Amino acid sequence: MTTPDGPETPEGGHALEARAATAQRKAYAPYSKFRVGAAVQMSGQVFEGANVENASYGLTICAERVAVFAAALAGAHRLEAIAVCSDASPPSSPCGACRQVLLEFAPDPAAVTVTAINSLGERRAWTLAELIPDGFSGRELP
């Protein structure tokens, strides 16, 4: 859990969810007021993200991508699990753009658990393969 390239030791699912809930408090969402937190476990380490909005709305970035890019910056490239926390009921799943970014770092999308939670204590979970079946990956490129 502490070394970027250590063995895969998935953090307890609830611990990852707790980190997503913590990250939600860091959201910058003055326009939508829809605050999202994410926590990814990549290469054995956990990284947090939150949505960061912009007055030029299209420049907004989702919590999931902030978390994944923080991991990539730290050299952690193997996605193992992700938890997302919002106030939506039922808990909202990652958007299509984020699913594609998650796929980039998932050697085995069927082995990646995506969990969505909310402040009411509701929970939904999928595998990444369920969320983006037959997705485009670098394997398609020459």
The contact set with ligand THU (CB under 6 A) reads 29, 32, 34, 36, 51, 53, 60, 62-64, 94-95, 98
Q: Considering the candidates 48, 64, 104, 140, report the single residue annotated as catalytic.
A: 64
CB of 39 to ligand THU, least distance (A): 13
Q: Are 120 and 94 in contact (CB under 8 A)?
A: no
Q: How many CB atoms lie within 10 A of CB 133?
A: 10
Closest CB to ligand THU among 94 and 109?
Answer: 94
Nearer CB in complex with ligand THU: 44/93: 93
For ligand THU, the closer CB: 53 or 80 = 53
Strand order in the sheet with 123-127: 45-50, 37-42, 79-86, 113-118, 123-127
* Least Å from the CB of residue 110 to ligand THU: 21
Report, in Å, the least distance between residue 7 CB and ligand THU.
30
| Beta-carbon-side half-sphere exposure of residue 80 (alpha carbons within 13 Å) | 21
Cβ neighbours of residue 42 closer than 8 Å, sequence gap 6 or more: 68, 71, 76, 77, 78, 79, 80, 105
Active-site residue 122, yes or no? no
Single out the residue of 32, 80, 72, 30 nearest to residue 49, CA to CA: 72
Q: Considering the complex, what minimum distance in angstroms separates the CB of residue 97 from ligand THU? A: 8
Residues that are catalytic = 64
